[in-house]
Structures are given as structure tokens and as C-alpha cells.
Amino acid sequence: MDLPINIDLIQDAAHRLDGLAVKTPLLESWQINDALGMRCLFKAECLQRTGSFKFRGAYTKLSRFAEDARKNGVVAYSSGNHAQGVAAAAGLLGAKATIIMPSDAPEIKIDNTRGYGAQIVLYERNSEDRAEIAHRLVEESGSVLVPPFDDIDVISGQGTIGLEIAQQTAQMGIEVDAIFCPVGGGGLLSGLALGLAATLPDAKIWCGEPQGYDDVIRSIVSDKREMADVIVRTICDSIVTPQPGIITVEIIRRLVAGGFAVSDREVKDAMIQLFERMKLVVEPGGSVGFAAATQQRAQFAGKTIVVVLSGGNVDRDLFGRILLQSD
Amino acid sequence: MDLPINIDLIQDAAHRLDGLAVKTPLLESWQINDALGMRCLFKAECLQRTGSFKFRGAYTKLSRFAEDARKNGVVAYSSGNHAQGVAAAAGLLGAKATIIMPSDAPEIKIDNTRGYGAQIVLYERNSEDRAEIAHRLVEESGSVLVPPFDDIDVISGQGTIGLEIAQQTAQMGIEVDAIFCPVGGGGLLSGLALGLAATLPDAKIWCGEPQGYDDVIRSIVSDKREMADVIVRTICDSIVTPQPGIITVEIIRRLVAGGFAVSDREVKDAMIQLFERMKLVVEPGGSVGFAAATQQRAQFAGKTIVVVLSGGNVDRDLFGRILLQSD
């Protein structure tokens, strides 16, 4: 099968996002480089509008709807980052957004989503089906659904990160050996991989996933769309997707070399390093790429890698407890 | 009196720092803009090498010494940020650094300074005179002293931040009404003011200072070099300088419009906002410019301001306690 997205679609997304999305900086710490024995460049997507990469895909999707398709509003379901991305994108395009969020989502994500002007519908994660609530809303209101990851427009928006990494490393005269990226449903990872396939074809792409939620890593190895063991607990709330998408898994299998599962302890240690050395606030799910690179430092010794820090939306209580090592 | 530094000296510093210092990004949050009723662009100097602006001045100073002047090593005294700046600059230039630090300096600053390869001499803040220790070391070893702020080379290095702000806002097509900047001894503030006087002459410059340590604010109003009330306690450890420098105060009086004193509570609230909205780790002293802008938001309503976030070296225990509001 041909890959469903070509580079033109990602370049079109970059054009739509120009001046609206932050061209997030590529940052490094000589101390981290020394400690890990490799050169680590961080794509600080936590500094993106809405605090995560999700704005890129959401805005790309919404801007490609014809204007009258948006007039009855847009609907999305999300534990938080996609919610904020859709809410902010809808606000910029003058569309009404309704977001279905789990009642236990981090407060900062619920508050921010409301702050972007969206209406929030809370549901119980264990007893209600968010997709069903969303489809009912779409039918009742004539609004359109913005899928969180398994969508060509959304994937192409996230892919703009790959184009920026290629541009930024070229400007710095850096040859990249490998890229590390967090993965949940696979929207970011598959978009990134497509963007890089066209621009940095020699860089190998690896993903990080929370232990227990290693459905993508196992899907790369097997030829099935694997399921996560959803009973496991993890602090990586933003990437606890039980299964990759149908489109995303296809792209990931073709373009991603493999992945590494990381423990909550490894994620917290990565967050503390990013706090101390990079002065960046990175959420647990946003840190798993760096946790994976740290875990695999022997294998990548002497290499130059780019690590995507995908978001920074973490409640201040949790971040404070992690810093004080009381969590 | 003519100003002791001209723009050529700052441009020379920018040339020396090219490729070594980070051109720190200018970042903004639409949520902060909405909340404050003004457009706030943050010059994220916490993302600078060594975690603060001090690297700029230290490297500029050391690189201007003739090579044989550096051969017996360099000495500096500092509560932390200047220490790290000098240690890292000395490392890059192959010089031995000895740093005199107070025994109660934040652990992260002592550890990092040692990590850059410097030798540390601790002293008791209340019973010993750090300048005396430094001068004894210089006499014994034939090494050279790198002053923390009251020095033309150091000031010209910090001034490169002003050039970058002018370039970055020009690229973004933004007209700047005012700049807010923290001040301790005045090295950053005076350098910034000189850099901006030549490039953005219409932007007014304001400083933030901790309550009790408002010696610079009072020195702008009076014609004396005022002293701080050093018995007051403040969490802003990086800017508890009791008096501005002789050179810096002269520049500041000529080029800075005035300043605003902020409380520890206002500083902590500023740090929490920068954590939640900007995803940046900013130390207490690095946040006083933003705390001052927030305090004065009525006066600056509708304006476009640039806020310098001067550093991010804060112990994780203190940052954690501030986030949990237990400090």
C-alpha cells in the first residue's frame, strides 16, 4: 500500500500554521550531553501554543474544513492536550467547540480548554463511552468531529514538527543519527516519521511508550494492531491510548525502527533532568522520548539525537510532588 | 559624562558569543496576554547556557583577556549564576577557574559550578568578606578577577540581550512600548539599556527589584548610590546585591525610566504563571521583571512589552514547595 500522506500535505499544513503555531526551538544542554555520552537536541514542543503539539494537527484539520462545515461547531473527545488544541484552533477560526473530557483529567487541562472558549462535557472514564457521546452530539447538532490522531489532516499537521527539525538541524549544520518521540495513538509519531522520511531519510526514528501501554512497540514487531493492558497504572496521562490508529500504525510500521517501554520512575527522572538542566516544564507523557533515550544511552553512545518533548501540561501539584520526590 | 560603553563594544561581544551563547527565544502566551490586558513577550534567558544570562558577560570578559593573562587562572565571587557563567566560560577557553561562593547558595548552583570544572571555595556570608578572599587569591596565584557586574566588558556582554530583542521584535514586526528587567547589581540592566538605546530608542525600560532591596529604584530617583536594607529576607537569592555598581548606576540613571519593588508573594505568583502558561522554569530573581509588569498591569494596559526572564537556576525543593504553595 502507498503511504496515505505525501510531503505536499505536510507542507500545506506548515503553510497554514505559519505565524499561528510557534516554531519551537531546538535546545541542548552540554551537561546532559556529557552525562549521557551523546549529543541530545530537544525539540521543545512544550513551548507550543496550548502547551503541546496537538494545536498543529487540530488547526490543520479545522482550517481544511470548508467554512460552512464548521458553522455548526466542532466536537472532540480528549483527556486534555487534543482538547486544548481543538479549542484554541476553533477560537482562531471563529467556530464553536464542544469538548468531551474525562472527569479525572488534569485540572489545568480542563481549565485551559474552557479558557479557550470551549464548552466542556465531562464523562466517567470507567462507565461511559466517549466516542458514543461524541457521535450523539454530532448527530444532534450537525457539528463535525475532530479525531484525535487517526486522521490524515491531523497527522499532516503534526508532521510539520518533522519539517522544522530538518530545517533547524540543517541551519545548525548538524547530522542527526536518531530521533526519539513519545507515542500514544500515533498521530505525532506517524506525522513526524512522514515529515522526516522526505527530509532526513537517514535518521532512524524510535519511540518511547509507558510500560504496560507498549501497544505501539508490540504492533511494530507483530503484524497486528496490538492492545495495551489498560489495567496498568501510569502517570503518563496524555498517552494512555489503548491501541494505535488504523492509519497511524501502518505508517509507523513502515517508517519507525522500534521503541522502548519506560517505567514511571524513569519518566519522573527524565522530568527532573529536564527541569534542572533545560529549565523546561515537560509533562509525564511528553518526557517518555527522553526517558527512552536515557534508558538506551549505551546503545546510542556517541550519536547525535533529537528528542521530541511533546507537551508541558502537567498539574502543578503533580509536578511539585515529583520535584520533592514525594510522588 | 559620556556613557562608558558604545554599541560597537556590544556588537563585538555578540560576535564573540556567536555559536556559543544561545540566541534565546522570544515567547508569548495568549492566555497571559488576555489575563494582563497587554501583549507580553518573554525573552527566555533561563534557556541560556548555564541557565542564566551571566554566561554572556563572563565569556565576553574572559575572551577579551590576552591569553597569557588567563594562564594563571581566573577568580570570581558569586552566589551562583555568575559563578556558573565564569566556570563555563573558563572551561571553553581552557582557563582554570576558582569560584568563591556563600555556603548557603542554592545546591544546584554549587553543584553545577563544580560540574563545569571550577574549584569552589565556600565562605560564610555573615562573617567573611568575599571580596577580601578573592583579592587574596588573586595576589597569591597571579590569577585575574572577573567582576560580577561593575565592569565594561561584562556589561557589554549582557548588552547582547538588547541587540537580540531588537532583532527578534523587528523580525516579528512588533513595536515595543516597554521592557521589564530584573536588577541586582545592574550589569544586565545597564547592558540591556545600552543595547536598546542604539536599537529601540523609543522603548522605555523599567526594572523590578525585591522589596527591601530596592537600592537601584531609589538610586534612579536620588542622585546617590543608595544602599539596600540588607536585613530584609527575600527568596530572590540571585539579586540580593546591596548596592548598584559605580558604572552601572550611571548608565541606569541615564537610560532606565524607573522601577517597581515586588514582594516574595508577587514573585512566587509570577513563577507559578510562568510554569503554568509558559512551561518555563524561572528562578525567583529571574521572575521579578514579570512580577513588576503584573503589578503594574493597569498602567501598561494595551501596551506591548518585553519581559526579560534572566535565569532558571532554582533548587527543585524550593520550586516544588512554591508549586505546592507550602512555601
Quick: pLDDT tens for B192-205: 999 999 999 999 99
Nearest alpha carbon to residue B101 among B123, B86, B127, B128: B123
> Are residues B121 and B66 part of one domain?
yes
Q: B28: domain CATH number?
A: 3.40.50.1100
The sign one gets for the Cα dihedral B260, B199, B55, B138 is negative
C-alpha cell, B147: 567582576
Measured CA to CA, the distance from residue B325 to residue B319 in angstroms comes to 10
The shortest CB-CB distance from A281 to any of B51, B115, B281 is to B281
Interchain contact, B312 vs A279, CB within 8 Å:
yes
Pick the last residue of a domain from A102, A119, A149: A149
How far does B110 lie from chain A, in Å, by closest CA?
A: 13
Facing A281 at nearest CB: one of B31, B280, B320: B280
Q: Is residue B107 part of a domain?
A: yes
**Could you tell me if B207 and B218 lie in one domain?**
yes
Alpha-carbon dihedral angle through residues A289, A293, A295, A296, given to the nearest 10 degrees: 140
ipTM over 0.85 threshold: yes
For chain A, the residues whose C-beta falls within 8 A of a C-beta of chain B are 22, 25, 27, 30-31, 46-47, 49, 51, 88, 108, 112, 115, 272, 275-276, 278-282, 312, 316-317, 319-324
Residues on chain B touching A282 (C-beta within 8 angstroms)? 279
Mean confidence (pLDDT) of chain A: 93
CB B76 within 8 A of CB B86: yes
Nearest-CB residue to A320 (from B47, B112, B323)? B323
Residue A1 banded pLDDT, cuts 50, 70, 90: low
Q: Are both B129 and B202 inside the same structural domain? A: no
Chosen from A276, A314, A319 to mutate, greatest number of chain B CBs within 10 A: A276
Q: Which of A124-133, A305-314, B17-26 has the lowest mean pLDDT?
A: A124-133
Which of A89, A118, A149 is a domain's end point?
A149
pLDDT band at B19 (very low <50, low <70, confident <90, very high): very high
Contact across the interface for A320 and B321, Cβ inside 8 Å? yes
For A49, the closest chain B residue by CA position comes to: B29
B226 within some domain: yes
Statement: residue B4 has pLDDT above 60: yes
- Position B1 pLDDT exceeds 60: no
**A77 and A67 belong to one structural domain:** yes
- Residue B178: which residues within 8 A CB-CB, separation 6 or more? B203, B204, B205, B206, B257, B300, B303, B304, B305, B306
Q: Is residue B278 part of a domain?
A: yes
* Whole-angstrom distance, CA of residue A241 vs CA of residue A54: 15
pLDDT, tens only, B254-312: 999 999 999 999 999 999 999 999 999 999 999 999 999 999 999 999 999 999 999 99
Whether B201 and B295 share a structural domain = yes
Its domain, for residue B76, covers 54-149
Total tally of structural domains belonging to chain B: 2
B142 with B157, same domain? Answer: no
Q: Is the pLDDT at A198 greater than 70, yes or no?
A: yes
Find, among A306, A323, A321, A318, the residue nearest to A168 by Cα: A306
Residue that is last in its domain, among B149, B171, B186: B149
Q: Is the pLDDT of residue A288 over 70?
A: yes
% chain A with pLDDT above 70: 99
Nearest chain A CA: its distance from B49 CA (Å): 7
pLDDT tens digit sequence for A240-257: 888 999 999 999 999 999
Give the closest of B275, B279, B322 to A47, CB-based.
B279
Residues A46 and A65 grouped into a single domain: no
**Domain shared by B27 and B80, yes or no:** no
List the single residue in A with minimal CA-CA distance to B88: A30
- Per-residue confidence (pLDDT) for residue A112, from 0 to 100: 87
> Is residue B327 scored above 80 in pLDDT?
no
pLDDT given for residue B130 in this prediction? 87
**Using 50, 70 and 90 to split pLDDT, how confident is the model at B320?**
very high
Mean pLDDT of B221-247: 88
A22, A276, A281 member nearest B108 (Cβ): A276
Nearest CA in chain B to A273: B316
Nearest to B279 among A51, A88, A317 (CB): A51
Is B1 a member of any domain? no
What mean pLDDT is predicted for residues A95-123? 90
Residue B144 shares a structural domain with residue B160: no
Same domain, A258 and A171: yes
Q: Which residues of A touch B118 (CB under 8 A)?
A: none
Q: What is the pLDDT of residues A35-64, one digit of tens each?
A: 999 999 999 999 999 999 999 999 999 999
- The percentage of chain A sitting over the pLDDT mark of 90, rounded to a whole number, equals 81
- Whether residues A108 and B276 touch (CB distance < 8 A) is answered with yes
Contacts B49 to A, Cβ<8 Å: 30
Q: Is residue B297 part of a domain?
A: yes
Rounded mean pLDDT, A61-86: 89
B115 contacts on A by Cβ (under 8 Å): 31
Burial of A233 (0-12, 13-18, 19+ CB in 10 A): exposed
For residue B2, being part of any structural domain is answered with no
pLDDT of A230 > 80? The answer is no
pLDDT confidence band for B80 (50 / 70 / 90): confident
- B261 and B304 in a single domain? The answer is yes
| Size of the A and B interface in Cβ pairs below 8 Å | 74
Q: In the structure, what pLDDT confidence band is assigned to residue B104 with cuts at 50, 70 and 90?
A: confident
Q: Which residue has cell 536515557?
A: A294
Min Cα separation B106/chain A (Å): 12
Determine whether the interchain pair A279/B275 forms a contact, defined as Cβ–Cβ distance below 8 Å: no
Mean pLDDT of chain B: 93
Q: What is the pTM of this model?
A: 0.95
Same-domain check for residues A36 and A63:
no
**A1 in a structural domain:** no
Q: What percent of chain B has pLDDT over 70?
A: 99
